[in-house]
Amino acid sequence: MVRTILTYPDPELKKHSAPVTVITDKTRELVKDMTETMYDAPGVGLAAPQIGVHQRVIVIDVSAKDEPTELIVAVNPEIVHAEGESYEEEGCLSVPKYSANVRRHARVVVKALNLEGEEVTYRADDLLAIAFQHEIDHLDGILFIDHLSPLKRGIFRKRYQRSQDDPKDLRR
């Protein structure tokens, strides 16, 4: 089932998510809904808090549109190693019509559980590394705009406020 994606400034997006203690059929149903929602949006990642569920679950698929899907499901994901620097443009399904360059690590190692409860390790670079960092931030109540300088955040807020009166693209 495609769920509604919460958008800025919904206070639910700022809440920390609880670890999943037991993977159940309800967890699997959540992942199914998250996956359908992410593909429908369309996006490359989605965290459970973005649909109002405060559990540490993310889904990611950075495959190109003309390639087979490569869905990653990570329960209780944790970055255990990070290195290098990346400064790439990011957007977010919860901050529609806005993107900005964000400083992230270029490479990360993430440990998580899969839906069978087995520990898995992902070594990621490029877009996948950025997606992991972005989605894990959501689990801690952090949006990509929180990584912007105070000046850029202020500009974003002004443009966002203006867009509420005139719902054109925020990039103007």
State how far Cα 48 lies from the chain centre: 9
Question: Average of pLDDT values for 49-56?
Answer: 98
Q: Where are the alpha helices (DSSP H) in the chain?
A: 25-40, 126-139, 150-165
Q: Which of 92, 85, 87 is nearest to 156 (CA)?
A: 92
Residue 89 predicted with pLDDT over 50: yes
Beta carbons within 10 angstroms of residue 160's beta carbon: 16
Residue 49: C-alpha distances to residues 14, 15, 74 (Å): 9, 8, 14
pLDDT reported for residue 168 = 57
List, in order of start, the domains of the chain with CATH numbers: 11-165 (3.90.45.10)
Residues 6+ apart with CB under 8 A from 153: 145, 146
For residue range 124-172, list pLDDT tens digits in order. Answer: 999 999 999 999 999 999 999 999 999 999 999 888 888 777 655 554 4
- Which residues are known catalytic residues? 135
Residue 26: C-alpha distances to residues 14, 145, 156 (Å): 23, 31, 37
Q: Which of 52, 148, 141, 35 is nearest to 91 (CA)?
A: 148
d(CA 82, CA 94): 25
Please tell me which residue, 161 or 21, carries the higher pLDDT value. 21
Question: Average of pLDDT values for 20-39?
Answer: 98
pTM: predicted TM-score of the whole model, two decimal places? 0.93
Which tokens sit at 130? Answer: 């950025």
d(CA 123, CA 170): 34
